[in-house]
Chain A
Amino acid sequence: MSAKDNFLKVKHLYNRAGFGVSYTDLQKLSKKNLDKVVDNMLKDSQKDDPINLVNDFESKRQLLVQAGLYAKKDLNDDEKKMRQQIIREQNEVSRDLNIAFITRMINTDAPLREKMTLFWHGHFACRSNNPFFAQQLNNIQRTNALGSFKTLLVEVSKSPAMLQYLNNQQNRKGKPNENFARELMELFTLGRGNYTEQDIKESARAFTGWMYDKDGSFIFRQNLHDPGTKTFFGKIGNFEGENIIDIILEKPETAQFIARKVYKFFVNDNPNEDHIKELATHFYNSKYDIASMMKKMFTSDWFYSPENVGTKIKSPAEFLVGLSREFYVTYNKPQVLIQLQSSLGQYLFNPPNVAGWPGGQSWIDSSSLMLRMRIPSLVLNDGEIDFSGKADPEDEAVIALSRTATTNANANMKPKSYVNANADWPKFLDTLPKGLTPLALTEFLLQPKLNAKITAMVSDNKGLRSTAVEITSMPEYQLC
């Protein structure tokens, strides 16, 4: 294998398994054997570093106060203020948590772990108004990102965020709520068509009593649990939640469903059934060892074949993180990262529904593509923002409260705003070898193969910095 070949393969690996790679690192890594590089990448991501932004103690105090206020019938003015104050603080911390997650992806030295966390963030899609719950779930997804899928699944299922989101808090003996049981099978494990409505009904009974208590910890409430006999996939027993999960994992359809989703996320939107089967069998035989499946995928020849290189549309998170990471961008007002996410259609921690973001071509429409092509110059050249994202429906209450008595509610009366970010150009240029031509830089920054037009565009030398801005503004840069 030629050195150039390895260079391109390692670059592809880091683009898909991580968020890109610096030229310096790429040069170093491409001297190694590809299997070694994959091992290295897994090793780099061994360390689990949870996000500890939301204060455990303060959140539990708030939860207790909220529960107290909720139980009361008539609140006096002070109590009402207290309730609003908590909601306001939670909204603020939720935004900080979003920024913490995206900043983590930008700065991480465990890129595969964060990329997998992003994958699970979309797979176990969830919304929670409570930032402590949201952080907890995000950390469960991070800790188990490369571990056992079973542990991950059980912990997600027991997280207050998910219990609340999928109404398991209301799932009680005699009054079952099937929401969690349904999504568990339809979206988290087996996929549509691999279970019956009866399976949902029976398993919902098994999850009765899976709840969280006043201070936000999982609790199994025996008195609300339905201990009766259930028939699930032909098996009969006094099943509890864990038994149901075990039976689901015994079915190879679960491994297939996850392998397919992983393939579509990391390899190609168009599934190749042979490759997926290969992955699924490996995953099943490894007893759902996620790292093992990832290694299998990254060391497969097909992972590096031309139809899988430079052909995937980056998600907004991949796009923003990749750009920021490449050019060592610091955001002086990091809230702008939320505005960018929401304008591009991927507001982290706020998936459209429990099915997550559909991905692929659905990221792209006329306005989102135009915006993507303009963001590099906004971020790298500190341009002025002249667009606004849609209000998130969950923010409507805040909007309603903040409306003044003017009739200009929707008018754009905002002052000019700027991204207010700094790219560290000296640092970026320092990573490049001396004498690198604009064309070579282009080859490095773009994943799709260069065509004559791009070659011509960059060959009339404008210096590396302006070349970089131009290249990252191209439609080709939307692919990885």
Chain B
Amino acid sequence: MNRRNFLRNTGFVAAGSLFVPAFMKPLEAMALDELSLYKNLVVVQLSGGNDGLNTVIPFGNDIYYQKRKSIAIKPEEVIKLNDMQGLNPNMAALQEIYDQGWMTIINDVGYPNPDRSHFRSMDIWQTGSDSNQFLSTGWIGRYLDSNCQTCKFPYTAIEVDDSLSLAMKGQTKKGIALKDPAALFRNTNDPFFKAMLQNDKEHLDEDNLGYLYKTMIETSSSASYIQNTSKIYQSKSTYPTSGFANQLKTVSKFISSGLKTRVYYVSLSGFDTHVNQIGQQGNLLKQYSEGMAAFLKDLKSNNKLEDTLVITFSEFGRRVEQNASNGTDHGTANNMFVFGGKLKKQGIFNAAPNLSDLDTGDLKYQLDFRQVYGTILDKWLDVNNADILNKKFNTLDFI
């Protein structure tokens, strides 16, 4: 598609100016001091089921070496964090981050009656449901729906991708997906798109057509806001050349230019390592760690690290015992990472996985992932987690 023309060959020319209803223009009126108080959440999704036991290695436990004869990381290669656990050597870039106190590792996060299907388990993590419950809205989407003081804008949640994850979809409000703010801006400024929005008060009803027009208007106004706010910002930091690092670079640009977005969502995929895991996972962990380290240092240099919380999850961990193809199969509980400049509990949050007390070969979870979400909702996004998660979850003390 010719990017200058929304419709090729139609020769469509628009006239007049874009109608923007009054409720869509609150930005200029916003007081400046409001901008500096913004706390950001960045969610990093590792898709495919990252093998947590080869990410944070329980090198102090013999069972690990017994169960993983050909894929265990040797003790001398592990980046040791304490007597029991250490990082995969491909995560060297995170050592400095860890030493600075900007990283917390939460062990054994899961949920009751775990599902080993990628799709279903990702669904559960993204919606925050029980394992026998089907929700059609995501946990961040329901946060948007709650219409709290700080989440009222259509750009409150941004996913750096072409399409929007279920996590970001609420009943009445949804996040916005964009890979490149300039491209979205071009599309919404195409003459055809603008013509469709022209003088269109009559469509702003509650019905489906009204919903379509409202979505278009919000897309258009968000695209302008995001582009105009972020285009002047030039990052001084260097990022590694990977798609994942690029996503983070975009997020950093948004955060550092003062965008009033609260939640960002990025993902890295390819973690379903059933076969020859060592090289593949190593590669991905290297990309992940180098990207994250660059991102966090960039935020630090822009004085944004204290206002930013980053979490990393995967839909499940892998079985404790390796398979016959030098890989691992789908498992259950897994570790989560939390990063930020204001962590209450830094380093390793809770006990390492107990490898001798398994549930048919799988780790038992110590913490429900919704306790982590609940903590963030309560303490970072300032909403009551029971309103978003449909029941109250006890919070944790990492922030």
Closest partner residue, chain B, to A364 (CB atom): B215
B315 at the interface (CB under 8 A from A): yes
A399-B8 in contact given A369-B215, A408-B241 (Cβ < 8 Å): no
A353 touches B120 (CB 8 A): yes
B233 at the interface (CB under 8 A from A): no
B3 at the interface (CB under 8 A from A): yes
Stretch with Cβ within 8 A of B (4 or more), from A36-44, A234-242, A319-327, A387-395: A387-395
B120, B136, B325: residue with the most chain A Cβ atoms closer than 10 Å: B136
Instruction: Give the distance to chain B from A478, nearest Cβ to Cβ, in Å.
Output: 6
Closest partner residue, chain A, to B243 (CB atom): A410
Instruction: Give the distance to chain B from A378, nearest Cβ to Cβ, in Å.
Output: 6
B204 at the interface (CB under 8 A from A): no
B8 touches A377 (CB 8 A): yes
B162 touches A362 (CB 8 A): no
B162 touches A343 (CB 8 A): yes
Q: Produce 1/0 per residue, A378-416, CB < 8 A to B.
A: 100101111111111110110111010101111110000
Query: Which of B2, B123, B200, B280 makes the CB contact (< 8 A) with A352?
Result: B123
How many chain A residues touch B (CB < 8 A): the figure is: 76
A474 at the interface (CB under 8 A from B): yes
Residues of chain B with a CB closer than 8 A to A479's CB: 208-209, 212
**CA–CA, A399 and B49, complex, Å:** 12
Query: Which of A187, A391, A403, A473 makes the CB contact (< 8 A) with B192?
Result: A473
**CA–CA, A474 and B207, complex, Å:** 16
Name the interface residues of B1-58: CB closer than 8 Å to any CB of A.
Answer: 1-3, 6-12, 47-49
Query: Which of A367, A378, A386, A394 makes the CB contact (< 8 A) with B178?
Result: A367
B8 touches A391 (CB 8 A): no
A-B contacts at CB below 8 angstroms, number: 217
Query: Which of B208, B215, B246, B272 makes the CB contact (< 8 A) with A399?
Result: B272
A396-B1 in contact given A369-B219, A410-B242, A475-B213 (Cβ < 8 Å): no
A311 at the interface (CB under 8 A from B): yes
**CA–CA, A388 and B160, complex, Å:** 12
**CA–CA, A338 and B279, complex, Å:** 30
Query: Which of A127, A360, A378, A448 makes the CB contact (< 8 A) with B1?
Result: A378
Name the interface residues of A404-442: CB closer than 8 Å to any CB of B.
Answer: 405, 407-412
**CA–CA, A386 and B213, complex, Å:** 24
B357 at the interface (CB under 8 A from A): no
Instruction: Give the distance to chain B from A364, nearest Cβ to Cβ, in Å.
Output: 6
Query: Which of B118, B136, B324 makes the CB contact (< 8 A) with A358?
Result: B136
A353 touches B163 (CB 8 A): no
**CA–CA, A323 and B183, complex, Å:** 26
B324 touches A367 (CB 8 A): no
Residues of chain A with a CB closer than 8 A to B395's CB: none
B219 touches A269 (CB 8 A): no
B7 touches A400 (CB 8 A): no
Residues of chain B with a CB closer than 8 A to A470's CB: 7, 10, 12, 192
Residues of chain B with a CB closer than 8 A to A385's CB: 1
Instruction: Give the distance to chain B from A157, nearest Cβ to Cβ, in Å.
Output: 19
A408-B209 in contact given A352-B119, A355-B134, A462-B11 (Cβ < 8 Å): no
B346 at the interface (CB under 8 A from A): no
Closest partner residue, chain B, to A350 (CB atom): B119
Instruction: Give the distance to chain A from B55, nearest Cβ to Cβ, in Å.
Output: 15
Instruction: Give the distance to chain B from A455, nearest Cβ to Cβ, in Å.
Output: 13
Residues of chain A with a CB closer than 8 A to B136's CB: 355, 358, 362
Query: Which of B174, B241, B275 makes the CB contact (< 8 A) with A366?
Result: B174
A453-B199 in contact given A408-B242, A408-B243, A466-B11 (Cβ < 8 Å): yes
A366, A396, A462: residue with the most chain B Cβ atoms closer than 10 Å: A366
Q: Produce 1/0 per residue, A351-381, CB < 8 A to B.
A: 0111100101110111111110110011001
| Further pairs besides A364-B211, A393-B48: 19, Cβ < 8 Å | A73-B324, A311-B208, A366-B215, A367-B178, A369-B212, A377-B10, A381-B7, A394-B118, A400-B271, A409-B242, A409-B243, A409-B244, A410-B287, A453-B198, A453-B199, A466-B9, A473-B192, A475-B212, A479-B212
Binding site for B on A (CB under 8 A): 73-75, 80, 84, 127, 179, 182, 187, 269, 311-313, 343, 345, 350, 352-355, 358, 360-362, 364-371, 373-374, 377-378, 381, 383-394, 396-397, 399-401, 403, 405, 407-412, 448, 451, 453, 457, 462, 466, 469-470, 473-476, 478-479
Q: What would be 19 A-B contacts, judged by CB atoms less than 8 Å apart?
A: A269-B208, A311-B209, A358-B136, A362-B136, A364-B212, A366-B215, A369-B215, A373-B193, A377-B8, A393-B118, A396-B118, A396-B270, A405-B283, A407-B240, A410-B287, A462-B10, A476-B209, A478-B212, A479-B208
